[in-house]
Structure 1
Amino acid sequence: MLTAEIIAIGSELLTPERADTNSLWLTEKLNQLGIEVKLKTIVGDDDARLEGAIRDALKRSRVVIATGGLGPTEDDITRKAAARALGRRLILDDRVLEAIRERFNRLGREMPEINARQAMVIEGAEVLPNPHGTAPGLYVEHEGRSVILLPGPPREMQPMFETYVRPKLEARAGNTRVVRRILRVVGLGESAVDERIAPVYTRYKNPTTTILFNRAEVEIHLTARAATEREAELLLDGLAGQLEERLGDAIFAFRGETMEEVVGLRLAVGGYTLAVAESCTGGLIAQRLTDVPGASAYFIEGVVAYSNEAKIRTLGVPRELIERCGAVSAPVAEAMAEGVRRRAGTDFGLAVTGIAGPSGGTEDKPVGLVFVALADDAHTEHRRLMLTGDRQLIRWRASQAALDLLRRRLI
């Protein structure tokens, strides 16, 4: 099986302002070909470090893809660093130079002489045309390895890969296909999930299983390898089915869907409508629901009733109830759910109230105390939660718990 490494080049990628998105896109495309990415590296505009990174990658992987650093300026060092790592010369390619000149002419401009650097080609490399920019890519076969240099801008890199690189790698990859699937679990911690499913997944070398925690849920990543995508999907189906038997309703997604997508689909299929009343989450539940295309079919109204007066005036929560129980309480959460349902005339009313912090907590009602409630025409129920984390994390976990309460009612 072919393995690959991706090297993202550019000092800007080592700052908080810029992220390397090319490697994510390339990983997906390589996995589709059955090529597994084993390592990703970000290297700044440093000759020696980049040369070393390429040399090391060639020792480990049969496919090395570098993105960025093919421009005309002094800090665009990819061509010369790769040439030194491969022990090859850089040669001026007159055809590439003429193509760059013609591009500038079409734009009604004269080519700056500095752009001639982009016509320097590694000896023995195949030039990959770039109709979307001035920097051509390079493809080098070297001692059984494929070294591929691609431009950094996605609008240039992606079509170049699809047109020129993908067919070459597809021919090298052979029959193996890699297919991934993400199962999402709510209401259980990482260790609890592993305790339940380890007796199953540890029996398999293919598919492989990885478990990780993500804010308010546990993700189970399954990876299968087979001669065809269909065969890999069947392997995943078999293992996923066994994991579902162990985890039951705690699994809410089988192909990486978000909680709001799952809830939205169930509402749409059932023909149900929903209104939401939020206090501590400040509209986050409504935002998540309406991020899903087609939400207007089931999401009718959202109310952010942050103050006590807003709860009384907008949702009809009795003043004496708040005075007796406090705004953060089960009775008030249920009254909010009933009030927003009554106001909007929907099948379901969903509500949340709590203390997200960092201040506002007391001994009786500490930061992280949250109540979620759900009302329909049959009955009203609530859940009391003690959530951990900073303000944003508590708000997110509260929104997840509220949506999960609705999901479980719908199933």
Structure 2
Amino acid sequence: MSHTAELIAVGTELLLGNIANTDAQMLSQGLSALGINVYYHTVVGDNPDRLKAAVELAKTRADIIITTGGLGPTCDDLTKNVLAQCFGRQLVFHEPSARRIEAYFQRLHPNRPMTDNNYQQAMLPEGCTVLDNDWGTAPGVAFEADGVRVIMLPGPPRECKAMFTYRVVPYLKDLADGVIVSRTLKLFGIGESSMEAQLRERMNAMTNPTLAPYAKEGECELRITAKAADEESAHALIDPVEADLKAHFGPLVYGVDIPSLEAAVFALLKEKGLTLGTAESCTGGLVAKRMTDLAGVSSVFRGGVVSYATEVKHTVLGVDQDLLDQYGAVSEPVARAMAEGARKVLGCDLAISTTGVAGPDPDERGNPVGLVFIGLAAPDGTWVRKVNLSMGRQRIRHIAASHGFDLARRYLSGLELK
């Protein structure tokens, strides 16, 4: 039997945008791995009438309802009360949970008395399965009523994730109807609309596995999803689709299930035992920042120079003053010289350079906003890519940095640099 889940996040702070609903993302991924379909996400504020209406609607379209939030000790923590009412359950005092809450407070605050309102967290639906919370105070709850399995989890992401992993997954495993497996191809150098146009007929004809395009900042993803009795069978369905897509898009595919372009470059540098450095102008250190966000990157990343001022390009990177005077800082010759200078100054095998106009105004030579030159210097040559970007300063800087990583990725993979 196929199961359908609805996630209901409770908290006015979610509706106000004060915090992001990361619990829903984590739960959807976990339920998908169990082969449970998640068809609806609902967010409702700390209002009993609206929460009751959301639960009553969920009862009509899902056989698993998972709530997050509203299990704490304050007056606006109303999830248990409302769900108990919706399913005709009484709340009763659960002595073992009360003792666990007391012990938790004693460990954290040995010299501070626990306020009585914390005992509210030990009021649980009669006959429920108690999901012990070893990561906080509020216990989770699970019960079955009216043909629906109800699970209530605490809202703090650290607690919610641990509770789902160690309490809910074992509880739900017997319900799993096969598994759902996804694999994501990452592409750089093609827009979502162009990618989708090439695949539209094929995507519409697919049922299992399915194929879905996604647009990210300056790049695209193709997610292949298969459902099967077990992981091995699901992967067998995905493999030929992945191979066909790689053959179709060729070097535009920079990885599979890899987090980013910089992660792909990092892996290739490690594999080949090479080092990287940067010389940045318009990106202001963003290329270096994205590299150093990766744990362990010190084994391949030598450092970077933020040569924002023209004189720094000359005095630190050794860019010939005649080049700067003749062509200006935003030019192909200067991008080339910056990358070559970074190799010398930093003692690295490869160097990425960026120089351009991020905006909001053209530069003193009249170069338009979005014009960027990205260089890559290597032992056997230097290459420069010219791009014209748009849609704001931050996006221009981000995509310019991505072009730098793409040049490095292509070089390290033995692909044509263009």
Q: TM-score, normalised by structure 1?
A: 0.93
What is residue 17 of structure 1 aligned with on the other side?
Answer: 18
Deviation at 1:105, TM superposition (A): 6.2
Q: For 2:295, what is the secondary structure of its paired residue?
A: coil
**Which ranges of structure 1 fall in alignment gaps of 5 or more residues?**
none
Match of residue 294, structure 1, among 276, 296, 301: 296
How far residue 299 of structure 1 moved from its aligned partner, in angstroms, is 1.6
SS across alignment from 2:262:
helix
Match of 1:145 in 2: 148
The residue number in structure 2 matching 1:392 is: 394
**What is the CA–CA distance in structure 1 between the aligned matches of 2:347 and 2:159, rounded to whole Å?**
51
Identity over the aligned pairs, expressed in percent? 42
Query: 3-state DSSP class of the match of 2:375?
Result: strand
Indicate which of 158, 163, 166 corresponds to 2:169.
Answer: 166
Instruction: State the number of aligned residues.
Output: 410
SS of the counterpart of 2:60? Answer: helix
Q: Quick one: distance in 2 between partners of 1:96 and 1:408?
A: 57
Q: What's the RMSD between the two structures over aligned residues? A: 2.1
1:310-329 to structure 2, matched below 5 A, reads 310-329=312-331
Among candidates 173, 179, 182, match of residue 180 of structure 1: 182
Contact 1:181 1:256 in 2 (8 A): no
Task: Tell me, in whole angstroms, the C-alpha distance in 1 between the residues paired with 2:393 and 2:186.
Answer: 23
Q: Is the 8 A contact 1:224 1:233 kept in 2?
A: yes
SS at match of 1:357: coil
Question: 1:251 Cα shift?
Answer: 0.6
- The alignment's TM-score, normalised by the length of structure 2, stands at 0.92
CA distance, structure 2, for counterparts of residue 241 and residue 32 of structure 1 = 23
Alignment-mate amino acid for residue 352 of structure 2: L
Question: Which residue number corresponds to residue 114 of structure 1?
Answer: 117
- What is the rounded CA distance, in whole Å, between the counterparts of 2:73 and 2:144 in structure 1? 24
2:103 and 2:382 map into 1 onto residues whose CA distance is 71
**Separation in 1 of the partners of 2:6 and 2:248?**
36
Candidates 272, 275, 283, aligned match of 1:273: 275
Residue 311 of structure 1 and its aligned partner are, at CA, apart by 0.3
Structure 2 gap ranges (5+): 414-418
Q: What corresponds to 2:81 in structure 1?
A: 80
Q: Distance in 2 between matches of 1:105 and 1:311?
A: 60
Task: Report deviation, 1:300.
Answer: 1.4
Give 1:322 shift.
Answer: 1.0
Give the Å deviation of 1:347: 2.1
1:406 aligned partner, one-letter code: A
Give the direction of change, closer, same or farther, for the CA distance of 1:355–1:117 in structure 2 (3 Å limit).
same
1:396 Cα deviation from its structure 2 partner: 0.2
Give how far 1:108 is off.
Answer: 6.0
Local SS of the residue matching 1:60: coil
Matched, 1:232 2:240: no
Inter-CA distance 162–276: structure 2 relative to 1 (3 Å threshold): closer
Residue 96 of structure 1: how far off its partner (Å): 4.1
The answer to whether the aligner puts 1:343 opposite 2:345 as a matched pair is yes
The separation in 2 between residues aligned to 1:246 and 1:308, in whole angstroms, is 43
Q: 1:103 deviation in Å?
A: 5.3
> Could you tell me how far apart the structure 2 residues matched to 1:267 and 1:102 are?
50
The yes-or-no answer on 1:243 pairing with 2:245 is yes
- Match of residue 68 from structure 1: 69
Distance 2:371 2:190 in 1: 18
The answer on whether the counterparts of 2:203 and 2:212 sit within 8 Å (CA) in structure 1 is no
